[in-house]
């Protein structure tokens, strides 16, 4: 999993805060807890989100195009059936 810039900045701020306190081992515990908590959230990067958004837009556009083709074909079938009858 790629690191998130926000998470990195947050961890840096926590590290700086802890470095000024007498509890040096708290940093390791907080870092481990945060890594585990964020890992469970299954977060994605902005780049991954944008790629999936683009793919979804493309799929929607293709589906709309196919819907129009189906409607045109249905109209042709109806017109052919009406002309035979």
Q: Report d(CA 11, CA 64) in Å as an integer.
A: 45
11 by Cβ neighbours in 10 Å (0-12 / 13-18 / 19+) ranks as: middle
pLDDT, tens digit, for every residue of 3-59? 678 778 888 888 777 677 666 677 778 888 888 888 888 888 899 999 999 999 999
Query: Which residue blocks in 1-85 are alpha helix, DSSP H?
Result: 5-19, 25-40, 46-84
pLDDT band at 2 (very low <50, low <70, confident <90, very high): low
């Amino acid at each position: 999993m790629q690191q998130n810039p926000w998470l990195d900045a947050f961890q840096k701020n926590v590290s700086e805060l802890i470095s000024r306190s007498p509890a040096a081992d708290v940093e390791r515990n907080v870092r481990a807890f945060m890594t585990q908590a964020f890992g469970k959230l299954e977060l994605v990067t902005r780049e991954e989100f944008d790629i999936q958004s683009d793919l979804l837009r493309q799929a929607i556009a293709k589906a709309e195009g196919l819907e129009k083709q189906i409607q045109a074909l249905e109209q042709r079938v109806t017109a052919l059936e009406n002309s035979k009858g």
